[in-house]
Amino acid sequence: MTFEPTKEFAQSLDAGDKLSRFRESFHIPKHTDGTESVYLCGNSLGLQPKKAAAYVQEELNDWAELGVKGHFDKTFPWTRYQEFLTEPMADVVGAKPHEVVVMNTLTPNLHFMMVSFYQPQGKRKKIIMEADAFPSDTYAVDSQIKFHGGDPAEDIILWQPRPGSSTLEIEDLESILRKHGDEVALVMIASINYYTGQFFDLKKITDLGHSHGALVGFDCAHGAGNVDLDLHNSGADFAVWCTYKYMNSGPGSIGGCFVHERHADNDNLDRFAGWWGHNKEERFLMEPKFDPIPGAEGWQQSNAPILSMAPIRASMDLFMEAGFKNLLSKSVSLTNYLEYLVNNIPGDRIRIITPDKPKDRGCQLSLAVKNADKSLFKDISSRGVIADWREPDVIRVAPAPLYNSYMDCWNFVQILSSEL
């Protein structure tokens, strides 16, 4: 499609957008003047589905009216609540239902997965991460290495950008593995780098890691609900993600785990077990010997936090109604349009550090601003833009296809241009 820079063109794109109606399913934060904000921060926190409050209230009502009987005597019984999220979640992350479970939060899930999939032995004890990984991943990996008696300074290998570049090249990962392959126990990479928005080739990374005898896992916090992860076909051993970003489940909400089906019945994998991962048919017999549920559900520890899961069900309803493939298609168009507008800002102060090929990114664009500090970000915020600032000079914007419009992109660029 050939884009045009006019407001009328943006309005025409919205008029022809078959998914535009889903915007009405969300609460859009208001600016101080009472108008809708230009919300481009779904990569940090997704907006609230309007059905979320009703779904939470439904559970509060059942708790009030049924008490403990709510675990069994209702349409969505609490003992099975996480199961109602499994199929839509599996569809979004590209997995088989028995490979997915919704549980805990992101970093605890990463720790639980590393208990099973980071097993250093002899010289094979190193972990490959991407440079500039999200800090929580670095803290988790550091602590796991120390827990096993290792030294993070020696046992973490960073996949670095080339001089003058912000993004990573797969050939450099190949070089690392050729040099250190027999020392690597785990390759643990984000599906999308939180800072640059670069989307990595999960299958290629998995194949590389496996070819050198390493296990492979992904932090999909910025990928789940944003890109086609295709986790099953990637062959990854495990993946973890949160649901409060692109899946709109509320601040600090529940995360998800993927465990490839080849590990479904592997009793030799260590794990930190809990009663909710025990054989469902015998869970309430309170037997002392742990009998794990086959598949990802066997990694559960505790019963589901129902009030936090209810908003996920509201969001998953919208994902299923819209169709994830349709959302991916709109995401490409919306992000391409935003890229076009940003690239047409006069002057040379804006540089997009996110890859320019749609296959190498999701909906996030990271804008490095020459000679800028956070005052620019404060200025656009004061005019109704809700985005994200990352030191030293990057504004991250993410037009989420479920609720963002082409006019959001147009309005953002007008405000940014005038403040520049």
CA atoms within 13 A on the CB side of 308: 16
- Residue-wise DSSP of 223-266: TTTTS---HHHHT-SEEEEESSSTT---TT--EEEEE-GGGTT-
pLDDT tier at 241 (50, 70, 90 boundaries)? very high
| Measured distance CA(128)–CA(214) in Å, rounded | 10
List CB contacts of 123: < 8 A, sequence separation 6 or more: 182, 183
Q: Which fold has domain 81-319?
A: Aspartate Aminotransferase; domain 2 (3.40.640)
Three-state SS at 218: strand
H or E stretch covering 140: helix 135-147
Residues of CATH 3.40.640.10 domain(s) within the chain? 81-319
Q: Tokens 């090249």 label which residue?
A: 169
Dmax over CA atoms of the chain, in Å, equals 70
pLDDT score, position 268: 85
Q: What is the pLDDT of residue 73?
A: 85
Burial of 152 (0-12, 13-18, 19+ CB in 10 A): middle
User: Residue 139 has which token pair?
Assistant: 């803290």
Q: So what's the pLDDT on residue 373? A: 86
Q: In angstroms, rounded to a whole number, what is the distance separating the alpha carbons of residues 312 and 56?
A: 10
Q: Is the pLDDT of residue 372 over 90?
A: no
Cβ neighbour number for residue 407 with a 10 Å cutoff: 16
How many angstroms separate the first and last alpha carbons of the chain? 28
Report CA-CA distances (Å) from 333 to 71, 102, 191. 44, 30, 21
Instruction: Specify the higher pLDDT residue, 372 or 280.
Output: 280
The rounded distance, in Å, linking the Cα atoms of 362 and 93 is 14
SS3 300: coil
Give the integer Cα–Cα distance in Å for 353 and 397: 12
Q: Residue 31: pLDDT above 90?
A: yes
What three-state secondary structure class fits 158? strand
pLDDT for the residue 3: 96
Q: Model confidence over 256-312: pLDDT tens digits?
A: 999 999 999 998 899 999 999 999 999 989 989 999 999 999 999 999 999 999 999
For the chain, where do the domains classified as CATH 3.90.1150.10 start and end? 7-50+323-419
Give the model's pLDDT for residue 1.
82
For tokens 């440079």, name the residue.
Answer: 131
Residue type, 180: H
Q: What is the mean pLDDT of the chain?
A: 96
Q: Which two tokens stand for residue 364?
A: 């996030």
Q: Average pLDDT for residues 174-203, to the nearest whole number? A: 98
CATH T-level assignment (fold) for domain 7-50+323-419: Aspartate Aminotransferase, domain 1 (3.90.1150)
Q: Which residue has the higher pLDDT, 138 or 267?
A: 138
The pLDDT tens digits for 66-110 are 999 999 988 999 999 999 999 999 999 999 999 999 999 999 999
Q: Is 417 exposed, middle or buried (0-12, 13-18, 19+ CB in 10 A)?
A: middle
* HEC per residue, 350-415: EEECCCCCHHHECCCEEEEECCCCHHHHHHHHHCCEECEEECCCEEEEECCCCCCCHHHHHHHHHH
Q: Which residues 6+ apart lie within 8 Å of 182 measured at CB?
A: 123, 124, 212, 213
Which H or E run includes 47?
none
d(CA 197, CA 300): 30
* Distance from C-alpha of 94 to C-alpha of 286, rounded to nearest angstrom: 35
pLDDT score, position 310: 97
Q: For residues 311-335, give the mean pLDDT.
A: 98
